[in-house]
């Protein structure tokens, strides 16, 4: 066997593999013997089919399979052992391979086109400081959040006179017809131009309206009358509605009951303590967004300061081939900058991981999947007990074992990226900055 690498440019190379008969024949002979033991042919006892018969029937197919297996192992081993910075997959010369005469030839030559990334160094000490933001929740953010919470934990009151947004309960009757039912009218189901009719009404008062001109669609009419949507076409004309009760969502009062609903029983006993904890929650939420921004800014710093050349023509052809014509060359050209951005970033992070000795263990991947399950079901920590944790682990393991979705690889990459991010934060110069929520929003908006 002979393996030769020839570079035409720093990022393009051809790998030639020459195979002689002695390289693959031992494997072929072993496979022929295995076939003779397993194949059942009429006229021969099981396991006693002569090797020559097997060779005549399956010899060519076995040679092709064993050559291809040897070829794959050889190419992969050469790339690994020589630490070639291969990008994309090796592309075999299909025209040359198609010209092989498998019946007559015993020696073979295969050519692979390789795409390589250029050499590059990662010296984080040369990078300018990256801004690391801490976001403070000011009085405006606290007030806005508390008002939203008051609405979220709203209670109900029964006012004497209706206002916009109220729910009206009462009896609905068809003026010229037999239809009658007790029902509720939610304001959001009433057309905007008809809303005024339902404002300023008191209990026991009534209102008359054309049902078709009043409600937004047949679905609203079906909900109002209790009929199937396909049956409401027969309901037309004037209807009367006599009000028996009015319900209004009223924002929660700022009191101990409200504090307990939002934070948990006894977590805050004064408004001052409640506001301080709300501010802390806001800042924790924004801390995650600030962390996302820091990741983005670090990625940009790496890309702008570390130059890597890539084989453009090779990669575009490879992308076209692996997608089997799903994308046109024009579409690949349009997406190529984003693809190479991700590829360059991946190459840089892989080198950083090597330098920082970052290794991801399977238990870390499983733990990350368990965290994902807990978040999806709203469980945090171990407060649900050992039985629930066992259930969460089973769900996580089932998720990771889905080969079709490649979930283990996806979760592995998330853990790997987190580990590299932590390594980068420990080595890069970070410039702490404390800013308000509005200023942070302006920074994020400017990047969109």
Same domain for 6 and 84:
yes
CB 424 within 8 A of CB 298: yes
**Token pair listed for 284:** 């924790």
Residue 378 pLDDT class (50, 70, 90 cuts) = low
The CATH number covering residue 204 comes to: 3.10.50
Domain boundary among 85, 116, 147: 116
Instruction: Specify the length of the chain in residues.
Output: 448
User: For residue 96, is it within any domain?
Assistant: yes
Residue 171's nearest CA partner among 223, 240, 238, 226 is 240
In degrees and rounded to multiples of 5, residue 334 shows phi and psi of: -70, -35
Q: Is the pLDDT of residue 63 over 90?
A: yes
pTM check: above 0.85: no
Q: Average pLDDT for residues 111-133, to the nearest whole number?
A: 94
Same domain for 165 and 233:
yes
Give tens-digit pLDDT for 199-237: 999 999 999 999 999 999 999 999 999 988 888 888 889
**Token pair listed for 85:** 């910075």
Same domain for 231 and 167:
yes
Q: How many domains does the chain have?
A: 2
Give tens-digit pLDDT for 21-34: 999 999 999 988 88
User: For residue 90, is it within any domain?
Assistant: yes
Give tens-digit pLDDT for 387-441: 888 888 999 999 999 877 789 999 999 999 999 999 999 999 999 999 999 999 9
Give tens-digit pLDDT for 363-373: 999 999 999 98
Name residue 297's beta-bridge partners. Answer: none
User: For residue 185, is it within any domain?
Assistant: yes
Domain boundary among 250, 283, 317: 250
pLDDT for res 382 = 46
Same domain for 172 and 108:
no
The CATH number covering residue 109 comes to: 3.30.70.1050
Higher-confidence residue: 54 or 89?
Answer: 89
User: For residue 342, is it within any domain?
Assistant: no
Rounded Cα–Cα distance for residues 49 and 42 (Å): 10
CB 185 within 8 A of CB 240: no
Task: Write down the mean pLDDT value for the chain.
Answer: 91
pLDDT for res 45 = 66
- Percent of the chain having pLDDT more than 70? 97
Q: Is the pLDDT of residue 383 over 70?
A: no
Side-chain-side CA neighbours of 326 within 13 Å: the count stands at 5
Domain boundary among 250, 275, 303: 250
Rounded Cα–Cα distance for residues 17 and 4 (Å): 7
Domain containing residue 42: 2-116
User: For residue 285, is it within any domain?
Assistant: no
Rounded Cα–Cα distance for residues 167 and 247 (Å): 5
Same domain for 86 and 10:
yes
Give tens-digit pLDDT for 276-327: 999 999 999 899 999 999 999 999 999 999 999 999 999 999 999 999 888 9
User: For residue 132, is it within any domain?
Assistant: no
DSSP 185-248: EEGGGB-GGGGGGGSS-BTT-EEEEEHHHHBSSHHHHHHHH---GGGGGG--SEEEEEEEEEEE
Residue 318's nearest CA partner among 7, 12, 2 is 12
User: For residue 312, is it within any domain?
Assistant: no
User: For residue 210, is it within any domain?
Assistant: yes
């Amino acid at each position: 066997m002979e393996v030769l690498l020839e570079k035409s440019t720093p990022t393009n190379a051809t790998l030639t593999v020459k195979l002689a008969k002695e390289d693959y024949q031992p494997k072929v002979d072993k496979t022929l013997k295995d076939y003779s033991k397993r194949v059942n042919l009429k006229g021969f006892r099981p396991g006693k089919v002569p090797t020559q018969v097997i060779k005549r029937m399956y010899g060519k197919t076995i040679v092709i399979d064993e050559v291809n297996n040897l070829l794959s192992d050889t190419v992969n081993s050469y790339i690994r052992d020589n630490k070639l910075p291969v990008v994309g997959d090796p592309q075999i010369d299909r025209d040359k391979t198609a010209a092989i005469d498998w019946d007559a030839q015993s020696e073979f030559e295969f050519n692979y086109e390789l795409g390589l990334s250029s050499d590059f160094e990662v010296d984080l000490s040369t990078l300018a400081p990256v801004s690391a933001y801490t976001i403070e929740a000011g009085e405006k953010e606290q007030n806005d959040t508390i008002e939203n919470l008051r609405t979220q934990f709203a209670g109900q009151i029964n006012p004497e006179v209706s206002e916009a947004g109220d729910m009206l309960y009462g009896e609905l009757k068809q003026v010229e017809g037999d239809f009658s039912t007790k029902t509720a009218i939610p304001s959001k189901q009433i057309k905007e131009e008809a809303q005024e009719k339902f404002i300023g009404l008191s209990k026991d008062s009534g209102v008359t309206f054309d049902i078709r001109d009043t409600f937004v669609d047949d679905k609203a009419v079906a909900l109002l009358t209790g009929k199937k949507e396909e049956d409401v076409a027969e309901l037309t004309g004037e209807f009367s509605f006599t009000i028996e009760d009015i319900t209004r969502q009223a924002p929660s009062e700022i009191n101990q009951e409200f504090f307990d609903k939002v934070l948990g029983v006894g977590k805050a006993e004064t408004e001052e303590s409640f506001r301080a904890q709300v501010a802390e929650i806001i800042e924790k939420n924004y801390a995650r967004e600030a962390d996302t921004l820091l990741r983005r800014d670090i990625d940009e710093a790496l890309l702008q300061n570390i130059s890597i050349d890539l084989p453009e023509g090779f990669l575009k052809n490879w992308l076209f081939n692996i997608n089997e014509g799903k994308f046109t060359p024009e579409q690949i050209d349009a997406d190529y900058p984003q693809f190479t951005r991700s590829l360059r970033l991946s190459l840089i992070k892989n080198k950083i991981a090597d330098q920082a000795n970052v290794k991801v263990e399977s238990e870390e991947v499983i733990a990350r999947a368990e965290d994902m399950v807990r978040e999806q079901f709203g469980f945090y920590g171990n407060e649900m007990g050992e039985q629930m944790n066992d259930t969460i682990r089973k769900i996580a393991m089932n998720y990771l074992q889905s080969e079709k979705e490649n979930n283990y690889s996806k979760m592995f990459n998330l853990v790997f990226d987190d580990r590299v991010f932590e390594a980068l934060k420990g080595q890069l110069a970070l410039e702490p900055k404390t800013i308000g929520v509005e200023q942070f929003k302006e920074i994020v908006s400017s990047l969109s």
